[in-house]
Amino acid sequence: RAESATDPAPVGMIETIVKLKPKKMWRKGMTRQKLINEFNDALRIPGVSNIWTQPIRNRIDMLATGIQTPIGVKVFGEDLNKIEEIGIKIENIVREIPGARSPYAERIGNKPYIEIEIDRKEAARYGVKVGDIQHLIMTAIGGMNVTTTVEGRERYPVRIRYMRELRDSFEAMERIFVPTPSGAQIPLSQLAVIKKVPGPAKIAGENTLPYVRVFVDVNTDEVGIVDFVNQAQKAVSEKLDLPSGYFISWSGQYEYEMQARKRLMMVVPVCIFAIFLLLYIKFKRFSAAMILIFCLPFAFIGGIWLQYILGFKFSTAVWVGYIALFGVSVEAGVVMMDFLVEYSRKGTNIVENVVQAALLRVRPIIMTTATTILALIPILISTGTGSEIMKPIAAPTVGGMVTATVLNLILVPVFFTWVFQGRLKKEGSMENEEE
């Protein structure tokens, strides 16, 4: 742990940074998940939970949510012992869910404290004030600043207290002498009872309520964070009955993932509408814009395939990749549609004109797609810093461009011909009726 006042890591957190060798030097068949499993098997320490994360991400998570792991559960309630008990139950429930790694509930109780209980009757019998006894205990055991020494430009406080051997045990503290008004020295054992009592090691609070945290590390190669939390919430609700006045809150990266999903539910439709609006402005035809928008789901198919093959779960990064795919896919469609509209004006043989226009656009569309895919392939095969963020963005775009190219070359001309022929037939029938 860094010795810094601004470090968000708690005192009980031990950090060890593991620097990995280049992946080409790893044993055959070794993966990041297998490596973590071997670390966990070799580092089983009683009372210590292993959490595997990136240093910067760990800091961001702790500063933003107070949780050191991708997922955390906060148990709120009035009784500290009760919320600790509930936290341990949640730990055991979550441990059984596939993808859970090293779930750990905070143990905040059973820290030994020294409690000095003053006998007021005995203090009154000797004529000693309770405040004087407390002041003496504070000075003898904790120490008190009595003055400041000045050495040049530096100042140092001077503190007095009993020597260590006179205060390092119950017996020694019981022999602390308390002066009385008569001048007698009374041992503290005659005026107070010194005992050891268990208590909370720390009390964390939020919105005026104390809480206990349950830390859960997740194998994201096996299950997505949101999917894991959905399973965990269902399991906890089925197996745990919360007493009245106690409730739980899910936090960590899951919290930000849900916020991002809510934003994307607004952003994605807005992006598609913006694309449609630009297409309408370009072609001045509602049908042309709708044909290109209708082809977007087919580009989505390729993105899903490659995402499944590479094992990426749906996340904010993946949806950003799909937004980029929609834009690039429509760009390739515009290359085709522009020529289709132009050639459709050259005669009444729509099929022949569309075929001729489509053949002329094969090479430009393939070149547009190839340059996009070739530019993103280095990201897909990269293993350096930031690759775990960029790969989920690139995968949908690469996969979607493959299917979008094929479908742009086939579906766009077919839909255009179908719509345009239908319009010509309608116009022809109207002319016949007028005659």
pLDDT on residue 120: 92
- Identify the architecture of domain 23-109+203-256 in CATH: 2-Layer Sandwich (3.30)
pLDDT on residue 431: 38
Which of residues 251 and 357 earns the better pLDDT score? 251
Percent of the chain with pLDDT over 70: 89
Domains 23-109+203-256 and 111-199 share a fold: no
pLDDT on residue 86: 92
pLDDT on residue 7: 61
pLDDT on residue 365: 80
Asked if pLDDT for residue 218 goes beyond 70, the answer is yes
Question: Given pLDDT bands bounded at 50, 70 and 90, which one contains residue 158?
Answer: very high
Question: Given pLDDT bands bounded at 50, 70 and 90, which one contains residue 229?
Answer: confident
Of all helices (H) and strands (E), which one includes residue 211? strand 209-218
pLDDT on residue 386: 67
Task: Delimit the domains of the chain by residue range.
Answer: 23-109+203-256, 111-199, 285-434
Mean pLDDT score of the chain? 81
Which of residues 147 and 366 earns the better pLDDT score? 147
pLDDT on residue 434: 40
pLDDT on residue 1: 54
Give the pLDDT confidence of 380-414 residue by residue, as tens digits.
Answer: 887 766 677 788 888 888 888 888 887 777 777 78
CATH pick for 111-199 out of 3.50.50.60, 3.40.50.2300, 3.30.2090.10, 1.20.1560.10: 3.30.2090.10
Percent of the chain with pLDDT over 90: 8
Contacts 24+ apart (CB under 8 A), 46-55: 48/14, 49/102, 49/103, 49/104, 49/215, 50/101, 50/102, 50/217, 51/102, 51/215, 51/217, 52/101, 52/217, 53/217, 55/15, 55/17
Computed over its alpha carbons, how large is the radius of gyration of the chain?
A: 35
pLDDT on residue 325: 84
pLDDT on residue 347: 60
DSSP count for the chain of H helices, then E strands: 14, 11
Give the DSSP letter of residue 383. -
Per DSSP bridges, beta strands 247-252 and 111-118 are: unpaired
Q: What is the mean pLDDT of residues 95-113?
A: 82
Q: What is the mean pLDDT of residues 303-320?
A: 82
Q: What is the mean pLDDT of residues 136-157?
A: 89
pLDDT on residue 432: 39
Asked if pLDDT for residue 429 goes beyond 50, the answer is no
pLDDT on residue 8: 57
Topology at the third CATH level for domain 285-434:
Multidrug efflux transporter AcrB transmembrane fold (1.20.1640)
Give the pLDDT confidence of 44-96 residue by residue, as tens digits.
Answer: 777 677 777 777 777 776 766 667 777 888 999 988 889 988 999 998 998 88
